[in-house]
Structure 1
């Protein structure tokens, strides 16, 4: 177990707890607790069901990408592997950026695929998941703008969505076009660091710059195979879109469980924008995602803040807790050390 990584994770959880504590303090704690306790259990079970369908849909997206790369995996195994991926994202800082290397290791152990191919697979799924989310957010904002004058907070959030919709594809295209230069830069800067780490590990040989360059080349090659398979892209994108829709249904049902009907279009905007906060330096974006969701929904909905907070907490408890429970069992069974 890597002590530095473990300490970073502990600090991340403490930071998340601090943010959540401040968030709860700003709301009416008593009313917040009453709302949570009065939630309809049957509808809460449906929230969990929607989250399970989300996980299964994104597991199918991962299965599709792996299939394009020549790795066969059964749907139920893909579901379990994706839960393991979400577990690693939710217990390591910086969300996906911190959990994806562990996820790639998990995939490689389950499928016997090369680590670079596994990393390319989960990176491709993450990229594909971005586009439906921004599409939902922009559609929700556009629809909302036809009904009322957008509040200042919503105009700012919409601007962020538009910026991401432009910056991510442009950044990805630039990185791909100049991948040779990028590879050379990474090899020059990364190889000495990898070699120093390898010296301190028993039974591990120091990689040469040539071997590191070859691994990076394999990674880009796998990305290219996914990007040039229209059928695979369409299937994976469809599964990703279904997954986002299920998340939105989950939050909408959380409000229903509190006997508080809300406009689904608002949910379509809020959920993807909340997910942007997943890149913050807490495990799974905890604390920051809840803050963004509550801030947006309080502005957009004629609903008391304590009710909004209760619905978001119930929703996020399912989004965070279900994959941590299932994925934790998967990671323990396979024997992947998320802190290694």
Structure 2
């Protein structure tokens, strides 16, 4: 990790700690501890088990996409690779946007393939994961809309989901329609920048314009192969939807663990809303995701819980979905790093 990246990571974790501290200040540490002390340990372990099942489901999606790109990996290896990718996302500012280049490098090493294929694979999986999350959020919002009237905050949250549901597929369609023109623009824009950077790094050879054009072309070609394989898209979307369902089950079980019950339709809406906070410049969205989850849960009509109860459940849920891939993926990254430099 270079000095700039280390500084950004340290600042990101500092920001996450600050956000969590403010959240704890308003909720109260004693109140949170009191809620957590009620948690049933066996149900908490079930949340961890559901988290592992979620990671396995999304590992199936990654394995499927890699198979389209001609990279054959076993499901256990895909599970380890995906956890390593999640680890990089969880410790890098801006979540997936910041962690994808590192995740692509890890995939290329563990799956023994080109970096461009690794980047195309993780980018494709992330894009496919977006579709079920927004769809499930809209289903949850539609259910609540038939039951009661939304307040201003929930109207804004629902509006954000609808906007994403329209804007992201629209951007993907435009990008696909003009993909060859986009490829040419990326090549012409990135080539001078990459050559300028590598020219100033000792020991790193400066790539030729032709080699850069070839590598970027391979990346776009890999994306096109995935986008045109309908069977792979169907399997990946099914695995992604299962993964989202397991994540939502984890949050629902976290409430059960502390003796509370909320409608499952609530987590359909809440979990994707929390995932949107992952775009903040905080490692893995830590702090931002917790704040959004608590705020939306406390504001949902028909969900009669206090903010301390919401935070306690979120702590259990996020403790699993954040730390399980960090521990498993961190071990994977350490082993791969030791093999690379040993």
Any gaps of 5 or more consecutive residues in structure 1? none
Q: Secondary structure at the match of 1:172?
A: helix
Q: Secondary structure at the match of 1:205?
A: coil
CA contact (8 A) 1:92 1:283 kept: yes
Corresponding residue for residue 171 of structure 1:
171
Q: How does 1:301-320 map to 2 (within 5 A)?
A: 301-320=303-322
CA contact (8 A) 1:183 1:213 kept: no
- How far apart are residue 85 of structure 1 and its match? 0.4
Q: Secondary structure at the match of 1:216?
A: helix
Normalising by structure 2, report the TM-score.
0.96
Give CA-to-partner distance per residue, 1:206-256, whole Å, 9 cap, x none: 112222222221111111111111111111111100100000000001000
Give CA-to-partner distance per residue, 1:257-294, whole Å, 9 cap, x none: 11001111001100011101101101001111111100
Structure 1 runs of 4+ aligned residues shifted over 6 Å read: none
Corresponding residue for residue 17 of structure 2:
17
Corresponding residue for residue 185 of structure 2:
185
Q: In 1, distance between residues paired with 2:338 and 2:221?
A: 26
Q: In 2, distance between residues paired with 1:35 and 1:158?
A: 29
CA contact (8 A) 1:106 1:336 kept: no
- How far apart are residue 176 of structure 1 and its match? 2.1
Tell me whether 181-190 or 103-112 shows the greater mean CA deviation.
Answer: 181-190
Normalising by structure 1, report the TM-score.
0.96
Give CA-to-partner distance per residue, 1:148-205, whole Å, 9 cap, x none: 1122211111111110011001111112222333233323332222122212334321
Distance 1:91 1:50, change over 3 A: same
- How far apart are residue 336 of structure 1 and its match? 7.8
Give CA-to-partner distance per residue, 1:13-70, whole Å, 9 cap, x none: 0000001101111113211111112211000000000100000100110000001111
Q: Secondary structure at the match of 2:88?
A: helix
Instruction: Check if 1:212 corresponds to 2:208.
Output: no
Instruction: Check if 1:39 corresponds to 2:39.
Output: yes
Give CA-to-partner distance per residue, 1:96-150, whole Å, 9 cap, x none: 0000001111111112211111111110000000000001000000011111112
Corresponding residue for residue 162 of structure 1:
162
Tell me whether 318-327 or 189-198 shows the greater mean CA deviation.
Answer: 189-198
Corresponding residue for residue 235 of structure 2:
235
Corresponding residue for residue 268 of structure 2:
268
Give CA-to-partner distance per residue, 1:72-109, whole Å, 9 cap, x none: 00001111110000000000000000000011111111
Any gaps of 5 or more consecutive residues in structure 2? none
CA contact (8 A) 2:183 2:220 kept: no
Q: In 1, distance between residues paired with 2:104 and 2:45?
A: 31
CA contact (8 A) 1:44 1:254 kept: yes
RMSD over aligned Cα atoms: 1.3
Q: Secondary structure at the match of 1:93?
A: coil
Q: Secondary structure at the match of 1:320?
A: helix
Q: How does 1:1-340 map to 2 (within 5 A)?
A: 1-300=1-300, 301-335=303-337
